[in-house]
Amino acid sequence: MGVAFFYIPLLCCMDICPIFVYMTRSQSQQFGIKKNKLLRYKLILNLYKEHKTEDIPVTVVLRKYIYPVYPISRTTLYEVLNTPVEKQLKEIKAIEDSQLKMAI
């Protein structure tokens, strides 16, 4: 079973303290699944923002523009709209960058 090191900054005593986290292969896969989900959410958000105006309801945008490309439910669309995608992608990018630095 492979073990990967990930550098995750945590706040402690008002400073950022570096720690190493051991991740198993399944944990690493879950990390990749989350990244892919966030990238898909980002595409859905871009499509939503492209077609959403004040006079078009969310359900119409979903039915006409999003559902043909990404067959998701209205509940999932609201989940996408309420997810801080950019923030979470930045956190993942920071972890990946620190992982690459440790590998060198």
DSSP state of 2: -
Residue 12: both structure tokens together: 């402690």
Give pLDDT, residue 60.
Answer: 97
Q: What is the mean pLDDT of residues 30-53?
A: 95
Q: Is residue 18 part of a domain?
A: no
> For every residue of 5-57, which 3-state class applies, written as one string?
EEEEEEEECCEEEEEEEEEEHHHHHHHHHHHHHHHHHHHHHHHHHHHCCCCCC
Cα–Cα distance between 104 and 88 in angstroms, integer? 25
Q: What is the pLDDT of residues 69-99, one digit of tens each?
A: 999 999 999 999 999 999 999 998 888 887 7
Work out how many domains the chain is built from and give that number. 1
Residue 63 covered by a domain = yes
Residue 103 has a pLDDT of: 57
Assess if residue 99 is contained within a domain: yes
Each residue's pLDDT tens digit, 4-20: 554 454 444 444 445 45
**For residue 2, is it within any domain?**
no
The token duo for 74 is: 């209205």
Is 30 or 84 the better-scoring residue by pLDDT?
Answer: 84
Does residue 21 belong to any structural domain of this protein?
no
CA–CA separation, 39 vs 24, rounded Å? 23
Q: What is the pTM of this model?
A: 0.73
* pLDDT (0 to 100) of residue 42: 97
